[in-house]
Amino acid sequence: MTKAIDSRRFNSTTRRELLKLTPVLALGAFAIPKLQQPLLKAGLGFSDWASKLLFRRNHLAPTFSDSEVAPFTTFPINDYDVDDPGVDLEAWNLTVSGAVQKPGEYTLAQIQALPKIRQNTRHVCVEGWDVIGRFGGTRLSDFLKSIDADLNSRFIYVECADDYYESIDMATALHPQTLLCYEMYDRPLTREHGAPLRLTIPTKIGYKQAKYLTDLKVTNVLPRVGYWEDQGYSSFYGL
Amino acid sequence: MPETTFEVTAPKSENTELAVYEHPWPVRFCHWVNSIALLVLVGSGFEIFRAFPSFGAKIPQKDLLHWPKAFALGGWLGGGLQWHLTFMWIYIATGLFYFCYQLFSGNYRQVLFTAGDIRGVWPMVHYYFFFGPKPEPRHVYNPLQKLAYSSVLVLGVLSVLSGLAIWKPVQFSWLAWPMGGFHYARIWHFAVMWAILFFLLGHLIMVVLHGWNNFMSMLTGWKKNPEYVAR
């Protein structure tokens, strides 16, 4: 259908149509130095919020047959600092504090007395590589119950022998595949892989799976989230 | 044809121009927002890729290509991830809005490649690449254009699905399955990006070749003197 119109009216029509696109300019806020970091922080926060919604307590990460497990020698060693922080394995114990009925120092033998889980799961690094490994340890949930932790607390916060620190949400801590890991490939953890105790969390990105654990705290408040998170990485990063 | 046509008369003149309303504002809005989002996602995607520029194992690491920092957005891996995990929501939101609008307005008929368009593809290819005769333009988009635009919409969906398969390999483990598993989803995500960039190259060349009136139509919605309207 063709309508006759004079060019003045046509120009005002096209101008009005062009103005309808002005909301697109809002994206320019990302180019303003003062606003950029807060906006990206909000975007990352939104992603974390969505990740928390997507997390399902009883949904298991894929597990693999022994033949799919990468050889131990090709399981990468990633540290922020040193491969071997020089832990005295004889004198080591895990210091437990926070919202627990039985705080104190726990030896490796006490942790190993709890039921042992072995699982072949995928370790996903934020850098982009992934590897299927074999892990053994005790469920963090079993350990938390054994120390009478308040399972309504929000976070588990850990500190490590190499000054690394991390935190995970309680829902993930209670996930059946979240382990206090003391074995890889059916052998005690080697020093590079976090001896004597590390976290293995197949539902989380690699940097949340701290090695060389020394301290564990059950808490509702986190003065610090994690070594990488405090520099701008995702706080939740559930897979 | 759904579009409205104006016969525009200049003041103190008998000359008239035809103008056709081709692109409703939701289409134009999504086009520009998604253009920006796509650039940000590609730039930050390269920053993320730079952290491990390989598709093999970590040990031994065989790098595929060393992407220059100048063509990456974010400054470091954490920065790249911040941009990527922010703009992916904008990309997904405008994508969903676009598909809903097209579906419910019926405007999808303008762009969707259908069985009836198949016959018209070869004459356009013949014309563009092999100096064949120019097919008579009949619609806003010719069959080859519809094929290109419909394909890039599929690629857009694939970019989101492969991205989700990488981002949530546990919660969406089923998503990676048709791609050959989690490890291959990352390759899909990368390949789909290059396919979109290939489309973008062709798209930009065509925009330059077709001139100002055509370009302005994606801003104002109105195209002056489109060649498919008989005078």
Q: What does the H/E/C string look like for B160-179?
A: HHHHHHHHCCCCCHHHHHHH
Residue-wise pLDDT tens digits, B71-109: 999 999 999 999 999 999 999 999 999 999 999 999 999
Q: Of A15, A43, A55, which is closest to B85 when you measure between CB atoms?
A: A43
Residue of B nearest to A12 (CA): B220
Interface contact B25-A21, CB threshold 8 A: yes
Residue of B nearest to A41 (CA): B82
Q: Which residues of B touch A41 (CB under 8 A)?
A: 82
Residue-wise pLDDT tens digits, B109-138: 999 999 988 998 898 899 988 988 888 888
Residue of B nearest to A238 (CA): B168
What pLDDT, on a 0 to 100 scale, did the predictor assign at position B230?
61
Residue of B nearest to A54 (CA): B171
> Which CB contacts under 8 angstroms, 24+ apart, belong to B225-228?
B225/B17, B225/B18, B225/B19, B226/B18, B226/B20, B226/B22, B226/B137, B226/B140, B227/B137, B228/B137, B228/B138, B228/B139, B228/B140
Interface contact A126-B77, CB threshold 8 A: yes
Q: What integer best gives the mean pLDDT of chain B?
A: 91
Residue-wise pLDDT tens digits, B177-196: 999 989 899 999 999 999 99
Nearest-CA distance B6 → chain A (Å): 5
The percentage of chain B sitting over the pLDDT mark of 70, rounded to a whole number, equals 97
Nearest CA to A137 out of A84, A175, A179 is that of A179
At A9 the three-state DSSP class reads helix
CATH number of the domain that B113 lies in?
A: 1.20.950.20
At A96 the three-state DSSP class reads strand
B226: in domain: no
Residues B98, A65: Cα–Cα separation, whole Å: 43
- Reading chain A (239 residues) residue by residue, the pLDDT tens digits are 678 888 888 888 899 999 999 999 999 999 999 999 999 999 999 999 999 999 999 999 999 999 999 999 999 998 777 888 888 999 999 999 999 999 999 999 999 999 999 999 999 999 999 999 999 999 999 999 999 999 999 999 999 999 899 999 999 999 999 999 999 999 999 999 998 999 999 999 999 999 999 999 999 999 899 999 999 999 999 99
What pLDDT, on a 0 to 100 scale, did the predictor assign at position B224?
86
Q: Of B7, B169, B219, which is closest to A18 when you measure between CB atoms?
A: B219
State which fold the A59-231 domain adopts. Answer: Sulfite Oxidase; Chain A, domain 2 (3.90.420)
B4 band by pLDDT with thresholds 50, 70 and 90: confident
> How far from the centroid of its chain's Cα atoms is residue A85's Cα?
22
Q: Which residues of A touch B98 (CB under 8 A)?
A: none
What pLDDT, on a 0 to 100 scale, did the predictor assign at position B187?
95
Q: Which residues of A touch B63 (CB under 8 A)?
A: none
What pLDDT, on a 0 to 100 scale, did the predictor assign at position B3?
57
**What number is the ipTM of this complex?**
0.92
Residue of B nearest to A28 (CA): B36
Residues A66, A68: Cα–Cα separation, whole Å: 5
Q: For residue B160, what are the domain limits?
A: 25-210
B227 band by pLDDT with thresholds 50, 70 and 90: confident
Residues A154, A169: Cα–Cα separation, whole Å: 6
Number of domains in chain B: 1
Residues A155, A170: Cα–Cα separation, whole Å: 5
Interface contact B4-A131, CB threshold 8 A: no
What pLDDT, on a 0 to 100 scale, did the predictor assign at position B1?
41
Mutate which of B82, B98, B215 to test chain A, going by most A C-beta atoms within 10 A?
A: B82
Spell out the alpha helix ranges (H) of chain A.
7-19, 33-54, 108-112, 140-146, 170-173
The percentage of chain B sitting over the pLDDT mark of 90, rounded to a whole number, equals 61
B161: in domain: yes
Nearest-CA distance B117 → chain A (Å): 24
B158: in domain: yes
Residues B150, A56: Cα–Cα separation, whole Å: 35
B217: in domain: no
Q: Of B9, B51, B219, which is closest to A127 when you measure between CB atoms?
A: B51
Q: Which residues of B touch A124 (CB under 8 A)?
A: 169, 182
Strand A130-139 vs strand A116-124: parallel, antiparallel, or unpaired?
antiparallel
B16 band by pLDDT with thresholds 50, 70 and 90: confident
Residue of A nearest to B40 (CA): A30
Instruction: Return the ∠ at Cα A122 (arms to A121 and A124), rounded to 5°.
Output: 150
> How far from the centroid of its chain's Cα atoms is residue A137's Cα?
18
B180: in domain: yes
Interface contact B170-A43, CB threshold 8 A: no
Interface contact B25-A20, CB threshold 8 A: yes
Residues B123, B175: Cα–Cα separation, whole Å: 38
- Confirm if A27 and B33 have CB atoms less than 8 A apart: yes
- Count chain A–chain B contacts defined by CB atoms under 8 A: 153
Where are the domains positioned within chain A? 59-231
Interface contact A7-B10, CB threshold 8 A: yes
